[in-house]
């Protein structure tokens, strides 16, 4: 069935955001949620978007490129998930954050 949970962390709380079918739908939900956060919580701030992944670097780069296309005016970085997280989420997991630049 390829059900993908989309999770959200706000502060110290991890919550289920949505459950969707397929990775493409999941990445679209993530991009739209990130756009909403950029327009609301981070409006007017200079931000960076770190794209996280587990598994192959090629899939991580594809994820970074999708985010860069959605946010052409923001620097999108690519970072592999740490082993302590990757062993829980498995191969081919994707994550993203948005953070205000302080410098």
Q: Is residue 1 predicted with pLDDT exceeding 80?
A: no
Structural domain of residue 92, as residue ranges?
Answer: 3-100
Chain segment 2-61, per-residue pLDDT in tens: 899 999 988 889 899 999 999 999 999 999 999 999 999 999 999 999 999 999 999 999
For the chain, the domain total comes to: 1
Kindly report the CATH number assigned to the domain that includes residue 23.
3.30.1180.10
pTM assigned to the model: 0.90
Chain segment 51-101, per-residue pLDDT in tens: 999 999 999 999 999 999 999 999 999 999 999 999 999 999 999 999 999
| DSSP 8-state secondary structure symbol assigned to residue 91 | T
Question: How far is 92 from 23, CA to CA, in rounded Å?
Answer: 10
Question: How far is 53 from 51, CA to CA, in rounded Å?
Answer: 7
């Amino acid at each position: 069935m390829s059900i993908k949970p989309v999770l959200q962390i706000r502060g110290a709380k991890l919550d289920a955001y949505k459950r969707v079918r397929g990775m493409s739908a999941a990445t679209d939900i993530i991009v739209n949620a990130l756009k909403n956060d950029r327009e609301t919580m981070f409006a007017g701030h200079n931000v960076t978007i770190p794209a996280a992944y587990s598994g192959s670097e090629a899939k991580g780069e594809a994820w970074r490129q999708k985010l860069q296309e959605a946010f052409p005016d923001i620097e999108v970085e690519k970072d592999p998930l740490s082993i302590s997280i990757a062993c829980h989420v498995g191969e081919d997991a994707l994550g993203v954050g948005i953070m205000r630049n302080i410098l």
